[in-house]
């Protein structure tokens, strides 16, 4: 057999049917569901008198809309429309018999954090969710991508998706990262390099020493933003770190099944000589701590840079950059480190895991915030509990942060966690679009350590300056 | 789903690149549990002031474009969130076709599930149609899915590519789920085989 990429292998193992024109029916191993993109899909099933084909492979959790303040079990805390949406998920999960983590369950959290945490996500699987950041699960060597609501309905009814195969793209990060540089800096730098459409039509496999050296948390951060680079999915080949992370999780295989799974997982890598349609190589040493300055995730610069001049771009990007700077209230030539911050948000499926909270707490220890408000929203109830046990919660609280319950929160601001017009936020989430965190809100994306640094200085800051001996 | 065969209509120019689905339909409108009724909030934050007044400069508020059925847009249209509320809002407003040099993957697929035709054309062709769209309601653009062509008001015709299966479904207004369920035996067979090969899944 010709050498195959990791993507080719997973794809081949999931083809149910292939039509002459190459359109495939692909089997879906895990379907994750949340409250915002599923109501119309369940309604569609009901109207057609259909059932969920594989409820045991379907996992639902409310996350986008739920309040993150204490006492949220009380429905009065939620605006009427959100309450209806969460109640609809409660009912749909029950009526259709699918796995469910309601807000009252400690395991509740952001769908892309809960899946891996509970051992639902395993190497070599196909994983979908009505959410573009499903790419996160690619960190396990699973083919994972976002789908629309019609496709959610299609998967619920048939456990398959109609797909055409994407092309293969390799993104290699060679060597090691320098101090203060994290997985978030890698993923933002890649998008800065390729642009938000650079991955369109591709599935990306991330590889290279710097990727291998990342923890599973870091790998999830990298894959999470594959979609911001336009790719259908991001993948990282599983290795000992992956197996170690999975072992013992509630839904991970056990005993003889574990051994069988392990033997299969070890075949999940790109064969020597396999063909990639596009290759990007970045030296790990060249990646700096970065921030975004504009309203597209491709608007990335090292923190030591200055706000660019729109005229320095070409084509449609000139007008887009002009509009961005106007929206962001910035002038060309300004030093990024002179930009003052009002609010800090640490959380989201990009950076709401335990390692992210540790990195931020490391910077915050013994320091106080200089911004108007700062909040930490752990990615799941279990992350929250662990952070409390490790004493991280206290560090955040002592520094002046609000310590919240799990959910998407200010990543997309569907609940009351929103920016006011003109309010400027250092955020660890993944999108800096106009209005993403609240109408008129201004978002700068960065790593948790960089967000913590901004919190204590009140402006965008090079985290290396606060790292003391660590550098 | 409504069929899409041919369409002759007013095209609105939106030359901005990277128009994301947060712009197309901001998150505060995702709380609905229905598909309809989103058209009034299409491009909400670009279209209305915070107190709900129309912003006269915005293209769809201009008299010539209030009945637009086609959008001609900048590169990478529909990037960002997977929300199908974006095509639902476009459709509810009356948009049946979007023309750009490139689309984000999920948005592109979502359009076909809702009777909207996304057309990818080279930059020169999009530039030509953008100029045409700027002429307002007198410049009607014709889109023919069967022939895979877009014709500008001056008669210039551009050919576009579309996946044959997607074209077939859109021309006939077919429901994917019904088509897939016809392959139930193949799905059963796959599940049986997978249960022995990968019993831990
Ligand atoms: S945290 Fe943000 S990006 Fe992630 S699933 Fe929630 S809303 Fe989407």
Residue A184 CB less than 6 A away from ligand 1:
no
Of A25, A50, A85, the CB nearest to B183: A25
Residue A411 CB less than 6 A away from ligand 1:
yes
The pLDDT value given to residue A471:
45
3-state helix, strand, coil in chain B (%, to 5): 40, 20, 40
Which amino acid residue places its CA nearest to atom 1 of ligand 1? A348
Q: In the numeric block, which tokens belong to residue A104?
A: 């009252």
Q: Do A197 and B75 touch (CB under 8 A)?
A: yes
Which residue in chain A has the smallest CA separation from B35?
A40
Taking only the tens place, the pLDDT of each residue in B148-169 is 999 999 999 999 999 999 999 9
What is the pTM assigned to this prediction? Answer: 0.94
Distances (CA, A) of A40 to A37, A92, A150, A367, B20: 7, 11, 8, 47, 22
Distances (CA, A) of A291 to A184, A188, A213, A306, B187: 10, 8, 22, 11, 46
What's the average model confidence in pLDDT over B24-49? 94
CA distance A401 to B155: 62
The pLDDT value given to residue A403:
98
CB burial readout A383-420, b (16+ within 10 A) else e: bbebbeeeebbebbeebbbebbbbbbbbbbbbbebbbe
Residue A349 CB less than 6 A away from ligand 1:
yes
Query: Running along chain A, 471 residues long, what does each successive block of 10 average in pLDDT?
Result: 96 96 96 97 94 98 94 82 93 98 96 98 98 97 97 98 97 97 98 94 98 98 96 98 98 97 98 98 98 97 98 92 97 98 98 98 97 98 98 98 97 92 98 95 98 98 82 45
In 3D, which of A375, A366, A439, A356 has the Cα closest to residue A399? A366
CA distance A360 to A259: 37
Q: What is the dihedral of CA A350, A356, A359, A362, to 10 degrees?
A: 130
ipTM: 0.93
Q: How far away, in angstroms, is A408 Cα from ligand 1 center?
A: 5
Check whether B126 has a pLDDT greater than 70. yes
Strand pairing report for B149-151 and B140-144? antiparallel
Q: Are A233 and A143 within 8 A, CB to CB?
A: yes
Using a CB-CB cut-off of 8 Å, the residues of chain A touching B80 are 132, 431, 433
Who contacts B120 (Cβ-Cβ below 8 Å, separation ≥6)?
Answer: B100, B101, B102, B103, B160, B161
**B45 interfaces chain A, CB cutoff of 8 Å:** yes
Q: In the numeric block, which tokens belong to residue A121?
A: 């996500």
CA distance A416 to A427: 16
- Scan for tokens 């965190």, then name that residue: A437
**A16 interfaces chain B, CB cutoff of 8 Å:** yes
Provide the shortest C-alpha distance from residue A452 to chain B (in Å).
Answer: 26
């Amino acid at each position: 057999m010709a050498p195959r990429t990791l993507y080719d292998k997973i794809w081949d193992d999931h083809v149910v049917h292939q039509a002459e024109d190459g359109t495939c029916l692909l089997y879906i191993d895990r379907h994750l569901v949340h409250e915002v993109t599923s109501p119309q899909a369940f309604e569609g099933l009901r109207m057609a008198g259909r059932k969920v084909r594989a409820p045991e492979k379907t996992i639902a959790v409310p996350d986008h809309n739920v309040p993150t303040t204490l006492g949220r079990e009380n429905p009065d805390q939620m605006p009427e429309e959100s309450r209806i949406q969460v109640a609809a998920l409660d009912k749909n999960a029950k009526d259709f018999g699918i796995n469910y983590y309601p807000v009252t369950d400690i395991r509740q959290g952001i769908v892309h954090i809960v899946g891996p945490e509970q051992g639902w996500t395993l190497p070599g699987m196909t994983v979908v969710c009505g959410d573009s950041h499903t790419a996160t699960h690619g960190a396990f060597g699973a083919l994972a991508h976002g789908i629309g609501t019609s496709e959610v309905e299609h998967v619920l009814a048939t456990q398959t998706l109609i797909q055409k195969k994407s092309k293969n793209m390799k993104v290699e990060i060679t060597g090691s990262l320098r101090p203060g540089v994290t997985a978030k800096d890698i993923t933002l730098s890649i998008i800065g390099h390729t642009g938000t459409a650079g991955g369109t039509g591709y599935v990306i496999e991330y590889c290279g020493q710097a990727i291998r050296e990342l923890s599973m948390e870091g790998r999830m951060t990298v894959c999470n933003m594959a979609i911001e680079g336009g790719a259908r999915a991001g993948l990282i080949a599983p290795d000992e770190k992956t197996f170690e992370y999975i072992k013992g999780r509630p839904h991970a295989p056990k005993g003889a099944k574990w051994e069988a799974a392990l033997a299969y997982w070890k075949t999940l890598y790109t064969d020597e000589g396999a063909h990639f349609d596009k290759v990007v190589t970045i030296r790990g040493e060249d990646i700096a701590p970065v921030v975004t300055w504009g309203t597209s995730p491709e608007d990335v610069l090292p923190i030591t840079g200055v706000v660019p001049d729109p005229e320095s771009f070409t084509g449609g990007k000139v007008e887009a950059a002009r509009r961005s700077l106007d929206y962001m209230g910035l002038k060309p030539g300004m030093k990024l480190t002179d930009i003052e911050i009002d609010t800090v948000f640490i959380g989201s499926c990009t950076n709401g895991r335990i390692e992210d909270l540790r990195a931020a707490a490391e910077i915050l220890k013994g320091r106080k915030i200089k911004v108007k408000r700062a909040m930490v929203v752990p990615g799941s109830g279990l992350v929250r509990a662990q952070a409390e046990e490790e004493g991280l919660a206290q560090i955040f609280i002592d520094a002046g942060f609000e310590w919240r319950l799990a959910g998407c929160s200010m990543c997309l601001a569907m609940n009351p966690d929103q920016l006011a017009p003109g309010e400027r936020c250092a955020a660890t989430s993944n999108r800096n679009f106009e209005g993403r965190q609240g109408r008129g809100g201004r978002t700068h994306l960065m790593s948790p350590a960089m967000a913590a640094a901004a919190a204590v200085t009140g402006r965008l800051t090079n985290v290396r300056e606060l790292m003391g001996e660590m550098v | 789903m409504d069929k899409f065969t041919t369409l002759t209509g007013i095209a609105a120019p939106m030359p901005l690149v990277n128009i994301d689905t947060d712009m197309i339909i901001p998150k505060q409108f995702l709380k609905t549990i229905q598909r309809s009724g989103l058209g009034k909030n299409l491009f909400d934050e670009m279209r209305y002031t915070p107190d709900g007044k129309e912003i006269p400069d915005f293209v769809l508020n201009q008299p010539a474009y209030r009945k637009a059925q086609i959008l001609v847009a900048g590169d990478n249209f529909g990037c960002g969130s997977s929300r199908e509320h974006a095509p639902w809002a476009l459709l509810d407003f009356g948009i049946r076709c979007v023309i750009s040099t490139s689309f984000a993957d999920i948005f592109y697929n979502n359009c076909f599930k809702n009777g909207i035709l996304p057309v990818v054309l080279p930059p020169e062709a999009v530039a030509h149609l953008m100029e045409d769209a700027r002429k307002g309601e007198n410049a009607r653009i014709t889109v023919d899915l069967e022939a895979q062509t877009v014709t500008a008001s001056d008669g210039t015709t551009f050919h576009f590519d579309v996946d044959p299966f997607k074209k077939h479904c859109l021309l006939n207004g077919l429901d994917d789920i019904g088509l897939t369920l016809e392959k139930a035996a193949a799905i059963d067979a796959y599940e049986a085989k997978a249960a022995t090969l990968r019993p831990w899944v």
